[in-house]
Amino acid sequence: MALVQKEVRDNVGIITLDNPKKLNALSREMVDDIISAFDDFEAQRIPVIILKASEGMKVWSAGHDVKELPRKMRDPLSYYDSLERLLRTVEKYFGPVIAVVHGSVWGGACDLTMTCDMVVADDTASFAMTPVKMGVPYNLTGILHFMNRLPINIAKEMFFTASPLPAKKAAEIGIINHLVPEEDLLKVAMDIAKTVMSRSQLSVEVIKEQFRILSKAFPINPADFERVQGLRRKVYDSHDYEEAITAFLEKRPPCFNGK
């Protein structure tokens, strides 16, 4: 059974995350379903996509499926990891992707909303960036998503505290384009989509690609890249990484020892 629902309404593609029992955790299976929906819409040249969760969920998505994080000395966010494949799919889609958010957003799902082109949310939305809770050495492309979207001090507070940012604050700092009542969420997103579709699609497509290219135009020298990868390896090889996942699965607070 598909973990996402998809439909086309007035030529807008709507993808609904629909795995409530797993709080829409971004498992490989869920990500594969989302990516195949994107692929279907691309084949139909659907010009705008809305990414939402099923109605009434208090959690939009609980982020990366913790049960699928590698346990033994493997990079949890390598290039071919399911979350990374999903983020690139969103970035490379030829038209705008609008996240419609009701409920809390966690970890990799927070990165997913940051990777979408726009966010429409209601006052139940919150955004938490959780690598420091999970002992995960996030990755350069993910951190760049936040640096491109937010003042760096706000991005640092999100990463260093892992505290959920409430909707009002998220709107003030620009994570959310439009903070609206729950009953208006889809209509506001559809209205944005219709306005975009009334413009030159050739221009929209090339401008989206320019935003993508420029947002990644970030010089880093090979020695620094390799040093960062070495530092990241120390983290995912650590007791603390293993402990964070074990504690989560055992439903207890982790006991970090910095080793």
- Residues 24 and 60: their CA atoms lie apart, in Å, by 7
The span of 49-57, 62-70, 90-98, 231-239 binding ligand LCV (CB under 6 A) equals: 62-70
Q: Give yes or no: 138 in active site.
A: yes
The strand pairing partners of 104, in sequence order, are: 59, 126
Closest CA to 64 of 50, 88, 39, 81: 81
Regarding 135 and contact with ligand LCV (CB under 6 A), the answer is: no
The nearer residue to ligand LCV, 20 or 214, going by C-beta atoms, is 20
Q: Which of 65, 74, 78, 2 is nearest to 35 (CA)?
A: 2
Binding mask 76-105 for ligand LCV (x = CB under 6 A): x-----------------------------
Among 64, 102, 178, 208, binds ligand LCV (CB under 6 A): 64
Annotation says 107 is catalytic: no
Residue in 72, 102, 115 with CA at minimum distance from that of residue 233: 72
**Interacting residues of 165 by C-beta distance below 8 A, sequence separation 6+:** 126, 127, 128, 158, 173, 175
- The reply on whether position 164 binds ligand LCV by CB under 6 A is no
Instruction: Note whether 63 binds ligand LCV by CB under 6 A.
Output: yes
Q: Is 108 in the site for ligand LCV (CB under 6 A)?
A: yes
What six digits make up the tokens of 171? 């709107």
Please identify, among the stretches 41-49, 66-74, 92-100, 230-238, the one whose residues bind ligand LCV according to the rule CB under 6 A.
66-74
Give the three-class secondary structure for 128: strand
Listed in sequence order, the residues at least 6 apart from 213 whose beta carbon sits closer than 8 Å to its beta carbon are none
Active site residues: 64, 108, 138
In the complex, which residues of this chain contact ligand LCV (CB under 6 A)? 22-23, 25, 59, 62-67, 69, 76, 106-108, 130-131, 133-134, 136, 138
